[in-house]
Copies of this chain bind each other. A is one copy, B any other.
């Protein structure tokens, strides 16, 4: 059995995109290869850097579209987030109205709940509104 045999979205023929509201049930995890001694006899520490330049949601006050690059870094414990499921999850903000700070906080908390990492950060590099870009960051460290 491979590491990924239970994944639903990657490589499947039909993908159900959802756009109404942030949907954490779209997220999927798989066992980290760094956590398996036969694959990692040297005991190397694994980390991930992920950039999602195509994030979009709506402004909750005006309804206008907002755009951002979402940057995620984390050190897995036993689980990693699967890439296509992350794409679907971030896509589910498309028709949702939420402030920049709240979206970044939500993504951080949803990922921490999914994979219980050692640490994880989310930065939202939103494009300017009124000539000014606001970039919130959420930083989690396991207590």
Chain A contacts to B: CB under 8 angstroms? 2-4, 7, 10-15, 17, 19, 32-34, 39-54, 56, 58-65, 67, 80, 83-84, 86-87, 91, 94-95, 99-102, 104-106, 108-109, 112-113, 127-140, 143
Which of B39, B51, B112 is close to A102, meaning CB atoms less than 8 Å apart?
A: B39
- Contact for A136 among B4, B13, B47, B140, CB less than 8 A: B47
* Least CB separation from A47: chain B residue: B137
Contacts of A32 in B (CB 8 A): 101
Main secondary structure on A side of the interface with B: mixed
Contact across chains for B99 and A3 when beta carbons are under 8 A apart: yes
Shortest A54–chain B CB gap in Å is 4
Give 9 CB contacts A-B under 8 Å: A3-B99, A39-B106, A39-B109, A42-B112, A43-B143, A47-B139, A83-B129, A128-B128, A128-B131
Please tell me if the beta carbons of B48 and A87 are within 8 angstroms of each other in the complex.
Answer: no
A4 CA to B58 CA in the complex, in Å?
15
